[in-house]
Amino acid sequence: MPTFDKAEELHAYREMLLIRRFEEKAGQMYGMGLIGGFCHLYIGQEAVVIGMQMASKDGDQVITGYRDHGHMLACGMESRGVMAELTGRQGGYSRGKGGSMHMFSREKNFYGGHGIVGAQVSLGTGLGFANWYRNDGRVSFAYFGDGAANQGQVYESFNMAQLWKLPVVYVIENNRYAMGTSVSRASAQTDFSRRGLSFGIPGEQVDGMDVRAVRAAAERAIEHARSGQGPYILEMQTYRYRGHSMSDPAKYRSKDEVQRMREEHDPIEQVRGRLTRDFKVSEDELKAIDAKVREIVNDAAEFATHDPEPDVSELWTDITLETARA
């Protein structure tokens, strides 16, 4: 297992904790009726996107499905803007019109948040094509889940990406249950890292609960893609603690299973343990980090609760692209 120095462990701890606390707050606000529609939480999977971002370079792009708040925060998008979009306020990243599944930031190279299962894989491949065409040295990260891995468009994308040696890393976040069906009942091939073999795409399985393992695998995959060798598949073996969405009671798995994962494999607690054991970081220091993170999240919730709703005129914006006038 690769090791992190103290600064890397602290960075991973803080960034994963921000996602965890943000998602906990989003869950609370959904329960209070402040967030409508769908809301898919990332709690338990934080090590995947943080490890990937730790291996990325400026300009690399991220695109994902609807469990996307963690990816936004990992890309550096502001908590206020993300939470405000969840509550449908004008200060949101899509000015309150997109909600959970439709947030974008060209500045941070985040291309959504997509509600159509598997659609982001084709779009992420398109981002890779643009990078290849421009020869700009960028790599596209296309995230999708074990459920989306069975979509036909995924394999069309694999074929094109390998045919043209596009700089794309396909990140399969295998949290074992898709929308509510175990992978063993829904997938004939449950080793998702092998899904690209018929196209000649290499892949590997990764402990997606350990941020160190994620970053190490990401470095290999990104180097492969960036050097012109084509796409790479990373199957992140991870686990979501909550249901598929806030409306899912998750009765298809036992409470003991969830508790065991929390106690034995929690990505944040693993880092916390190494910080206290290997780097002698005190409980007071860790509490201070948690307090600062909670302050950021509480500020975002306060902003998202009191920010005005978008003006009715916003119904007529962002529909078509206007041509530039001379």
pLDDT on residue 306: 97
Q: What confidence tens digit (pLDDT) does each residue in 108-155 have?
A: 999 999 999 999 999 999 999 999 999 999 999 999 999 999 999 999
State the DSSP H helix or E strand holding residue 144, giving kind and residue range, or none if neither.
strand 140-145
Helix axes 79-86, 283-306, angle to 10 degrees: 50
Report the percent of the chain where pLDDT is more than 70: 99
pLDDT digits (tens, 9 = 90+) for 207-258: 999 999 999 999 999 999 999 999 999 999 999 999 999 999 999 999 999 9
Topology at the third CATH level for domain 6-304: Rossmann fold (3.40.50)
User: Dihedral, CA atoms, 153, 157, 158, 162, nearest 10 degrees?
Assistant: 160
> Where are the chain's structural domains?
6-304
Torsion of Cα atoms, 136 then 126 then 60 then 18, to 10°: 170
Longest dimension (CA), the chain: 65
Helix (H) or strand (E) holding 174: strand 168-174
Mean of per-residue pLDDT scores for the chain: 96
Residue 319, pLDDT score:
84
- Going from the C-alpha of 325 to that of each of 318, 319, 322, the distances in angstroms are 17, 18, 9
Specify the pTM. 0.96
Q: Which two tokens stand for residue 111?
A: 């291309």
